Structure 1
Amino acid sequence: MNSMSFLTSTLFDLYIMVIILRIWLQASHADFYNPFSQFIVKSTQPVVGKLQKIIPFMIGNIDITTTLFAYLLCVLKLMILTIISSSTIHFSSTLLLLGIALFIKTAGSLLFWILLICTILSWVNKNHGPIEHVFYQLTEPMLMPIRRIIPIIGGFDLSVLALFIGLQFANFFMGDIIGPIWYRL
């Protein structure tokens, strides 16, 4: 059953990341007409659009309806993985709390991958395509405060490295707080 767990986990993680990207794009006021932004919106609109008609709820720039949908997918992923691994399901408040932890971990993983892709694109892509522009809009609010502390040294921007170290620290810190289950999420 490891193959089914892997496939289930990967498919859920990818779709949850796309939904979190939608939330993040909206919260950061990224270019809506960018082809990458349009892909994210179009791939999530069939479900999110219907949910927003039922429960239109925003707090500031954060779409709470879409955030709740991503959280429910995290809980559903945990339930399905529990069924695959043990053939039984025990719905409890622990599952709801682990759903929050999984949401946080998926958002952190998404940030890591976007930073990594931005770094690689900055090395090889000199014409700054539409995806790089949106990723810049997403990551710049996090990198700018770090650049104030650690300026660009000899053409090297170490702010991304500092954020990578911060993400890794947060990952280990959550592992210390939650325990070994954090690494299995």
Structure 2
Amino acid sequence: MSSNVDNALFFLVSTLFKLAMWVLILRVALQLVRADFFNPVSQLVWRLTQPVVGPASRIVPRYQRWDLACLLVLYALAVLYIYAVFAILSYRVALVQALWLGLVSVISLTLMLLTFSIFVQAILSWLGPGVNNRAGSVLWSLNEPLLGRIRRFVPAVSGIDLSPLVAILVLQVLYYLLPLHPVLR
């Protein structure tokens, strides 16, 4: 195979795996923060993940608000992602290394998803302050636990809420502190 085909295949496989993992992470996060289940965005996430998570949830029980079946599917998908990416690049990866990199990739994707959701929420607040839309309410439910904690330490300056900026900076620092393999960045 040529280098261009390898690059295109790597991009396609990486993007599809990351999108699937983001939806699973979003399902877990929306359940943890008790977002409105009847919101169309929540319903979309539920319908996209239910064919895979539903059968697993019959075997793996929930623990309080933690959807362990979804977490198990997410982790299995992350390990499969590691094997797929390394196979495309013709690298070998040991099982222990794949398990570790799978965990680290789930954490990095979670940090990236939180960063992206806070960024989108901030942009939406600038474009239509006070406007209530369905995506905005899900983003608020998802981000408010983190942003509320930051607001206790970082007050608004001249009426401008700086908590999204601080949260994005902290999330990005945590992302770059992760021992992620260069291939997966």
Q: What is the TM-score normalised by the length of structure 2?
A: 0.91
Any idea what the Cα deviations from partners look like across 1:119-162, whole Å, max 9, x if unmatched? 11111134220110011011001011111111111121100111
2:99 equivalent in structure 1: 96
How far apart, in 2, do the equivalents of 1:171 and 1:51 lie? Answer: 30
2:152 match: secondary structure:
helix
2:155 equivalent in structure 1: 151
Any idea what the Cα deviations from partners look like across 1:78-97, whole Å, max 9, x if unmatched? 111111110x6544201100
How far apart, in 1, do the equivalents of 2:95 and 2:145 lie? Answer: 37
Contact 1:101 1:182 in 2 (8 A): no
1:40 equivalent in structure 2: 45
Residue number among 83, 86, 103 corresponding to 2:87 in the alignment? 83
Contact 2:111 2:172 in 1 (8 A): no
Q: Matched residues, percent identical? A: 35
1:113 equivalent in structure 2: 116
Q: What is the TM-score normalised by the length of structure 1?
A: 0.91
1:137 equivalent in structure 2: 141
> Which letter does structure 2 place at the counterpart of 1:82?
F
For structure 2, which runs of at least 5 residues remain unmatched after alignment?
Answer: 1-5
How far apart, in 2, do the equivalents of 1:182 and 1:132 lie? Answer: 34
CA RMSD of aligned residues (A): 1.5
2:3 equivalent in structure 1: none
| CA pair 77-147 structure 1, distance change in 2 beyond 3 A | same
Contact 1:32 1:38 in 2 (8 A): yes
How far apart, in 2, do the equivalents of 1:18 and 1:65 lie? Answer: 14
How far apart, in 2, do the equivalents of 1:13 and 1:160 lie? Answer: 24
> Which letter does structure 2 place at the counterpart of 1:58?
R
Any idea what the Cα deviations from partners look like across 1:5-39, whole Å, max 9, x if unmatched? 01100111011000100000111110000010000
| 2:143 matches 1:165 | no
> Which letter does structure 1 place at the counterpart of 2:158?
G
How far apart, in 1, do the equivalents of 2:183 and 2:172 lie? Answer: 12
**How much has 1:63 moved relative to structure 2?**
0.8
Contact 2:75 2:106 in 1 (8 A): yes
| 2:100 matches 1:59 | no
| Number of residue pairs the alignment of both structures matches | 179
How far apart, in 2, do the equivalents of 1:183 and 1:123 lie? Answer: 36
2:28 equivalent in structure 1: 23
Contact 1:121 1:132 in 2 (8 A): yes
